[in-house]
Amino acid sequence: MERKTRRIQDGTVISDKMDKTIVVLVERRTQHPVYKRTVKRSQKFMAHDEENTCRVGDRVEIIESRPHSKNKKWRVRRVLERAERI
């Protein structure tokens, strides 16, 4: 039996205040159906971060997975880019 392909998205971490959970903002650009202008759409996903390695501002790649909780259905695949630390 073959597994379905899982969706992969990349976005920016906007919150890391929870234990083993981050909130990722994913932005995409689409064309408006009537005005044909490029519009930015954004969506927030809660993702499972097992090692608590991600910090606010990091760019991460998340992958769809089994439900970890009511709202958490994604997990961190890898960190693409670390945010600048002061």
Q: What CATH code is carried by the domain that includes residue 13?
A: 2.40.50.140
Q: What are the 10-residue block averages of pLDDT along the chain, 86 residues in total?
A: 90 97 98 97 98 96 96 97 86
Domain boundaries, position 70: 8-81
Confidence (pLDDT) at 86: 66
Q: Is residue 21 part of a domain?
A: yes
Q: Is residue 3 part of a domain?
A: no
pTM of the model: 0.89
Contacts 24+ apart (CB under 8 A), 80-85: 80/10, 82/55, 82/58, 83/13, 83/55, 83/56, 83/57, 83/58, 84/57, 85/55
Confidence (pLDDT) at 67: 97
Q: Is residue 2 part of a domain?
A: no
Confidence (pLDDT) at 3: 83
Confidence (pLDDT) at 56: 96
Q: Is residue 53 part of a domain?
A: yes
Confidence (pLDDT) at 11: 98
> How does strand 8-15 pair with strand 38-48?
unpaired
**Counted domains in the chain:** 1
